């Protein structure tokens, strides 16, 4: 991630509303509200023309486009997202707090569960994003909770390990069909 001009001392907020959020005005309002806090904002829109760049300060906003989430999370202090399962899990796994603006489908449930861990704050109004970001950045409880969640997630067996465990169990037990062991 390229450095922000004169912004090394500012917090960096990763903002991604996912592939389902296609409202250019909402995305732009969220970015404007966030940059009002004098933070660096890395925006990962679904498409680079999803933003009205004429309303944004290029010294505070970097449009990353569609980049692997792991790459973006490495430089972030906080993530603003729509609460998609992949983003929420990746953010918690990286030990980062979130501000979530859930848009339909499973996102309200994901947001509620993330908030229950203490690692996220949920808002329903795009205009409330700035205040929510300021609250999360100013309260050490959010990153502490996110760190605890990252520890829990890292202790979970990987999908490859789960396959190995299931394979070992299947091989070590005789198959049963109708209560009779198979040859």
H/E stretch holding 43 reads strand 40-43
Q: What is the pLDDT of residue 59?
A: 77
Region 49-61: what's the mean pLDDT? 73
**Cβ-count burial of 149 within 10 angstroms (0-12 exposed, 13-18 middle, 19+ buried)?**
buried
- 36, 31, 30, 33: which is closest to 10 by C-alpha? 36
Number of domains in the chain: 1
**Which range among 6-20, 37-51, 153-167 has the greatest average pLDDT?**
153-167
Residue 128 falls within a domain, yes or no? yes
Residue 90 falls within a domain, yes or no? yes
Instruction: Please provide residue 119's backbone torsions phi and psi, each rounded to the nearest 5 degrees.
Output: -95, 0
Q: Which long-range contacts (CB under 8 A, 24 or more apart) does 88-92 make?
A: 88/113, 88/114, 88/120, 89/153, 91/146, 92/117, 92/119, 92/146, 92/149, 92/150, 92/153
Question: Mind listing the pLDDT tens digit for each residue in 88-122?
Answer: 999 999 999 999 999 888 899 999 999 999 999 99
Residue 41 falls within a domain, yes or no? yes
Instruction: Please provide residue 15's backbone torsions phi and psi, each rounded to the nearest 5 degrees.
Output: -120, 115
Residue 168 falls within a domain, yes or no? no
Strand, helix or coil at 51?
coil
pLDDT tier at 82, thresholds 50, 70, 90: very high
Task: Determine what percent of the chain is predicted with pLDDT higher than 90.
Answer: 50
pLDDT of 35 above 90: no
pLDDT of 1 above 80: no
How far apart CA 163 and CA 127 sit, in angstroms, is 45
20/86: higher pLDDT: 86
Residue 176 falls within a domain, yes or no? no
pLDDT tier at 131, thresholds 50, 70, 90: very high
Residue 172 falls within a domain, yes or no? no
Are residues 119 and 150 in contact, defined by beta-carbon separation less than 8 angstroms? no
- 134, 98, 130, 104: which is closest to 116 by C-alpha? 98
Domain harbouring 126, CATH code: 3.40.50.2000
How far apart CA 180 and CA 104 sit, in angstroms, is 48
Stated pTM of the model: 0.83
pLDDT of 142 above 60: yes
Residue 66 falls within a domain, yes or no? yes
pLDDT of 175 above 70: no
Instruction: Tell me the residue range of the domain where 70 lies.
Output: 12-156
How far apart CA 91 and CA 82 sit, in angstroms, is 12
pLDDT of 18 above 80: no
Residue 59 falls within a domain, yes or no? yes
- Average model confidence (pLDDT) for the chain? 86
Region 30-48: what's the mean pLDDT? 83
């Amino acid at each position: 991630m390229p450095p922000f001009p004169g912004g090394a001392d500012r917090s960096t907020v990763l903002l991604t509303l996912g592939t389902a959020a296609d409202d250019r005005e909402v995305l732009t309002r969220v970015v404007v509200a966030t940059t009002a806090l004098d933070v660096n904002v890395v925006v990962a829109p679904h498409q680079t023309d999803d933003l009205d760049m004429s309303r944004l300060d290029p010294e505070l906003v970097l449009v990353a486009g569609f980049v692997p989430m792991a790459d973006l999370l490495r430089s972030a202090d906080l993530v603003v997202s729509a609460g998609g399962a992949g983003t929420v899990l990746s953010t918690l796994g990286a030990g980062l707090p979130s501000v979530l603006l859930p848009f339909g489908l499973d996102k309200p449930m994901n947001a509620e569960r993330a908030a229950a861990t203490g690692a996220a704050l949920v808002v329903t109004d795009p205009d409330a994003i700035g205040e929510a970001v300021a609250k999360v950045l100013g309260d050490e409880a959010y990153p502490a909770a996110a760190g605890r969640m990252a520890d829990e997630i890292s202790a979970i067996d990987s999908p490859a390990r789960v396959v190995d465990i299931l394979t070992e169990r299947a091989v070590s037990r005789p198959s049963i069909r109708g209560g009779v062991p198979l040859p």
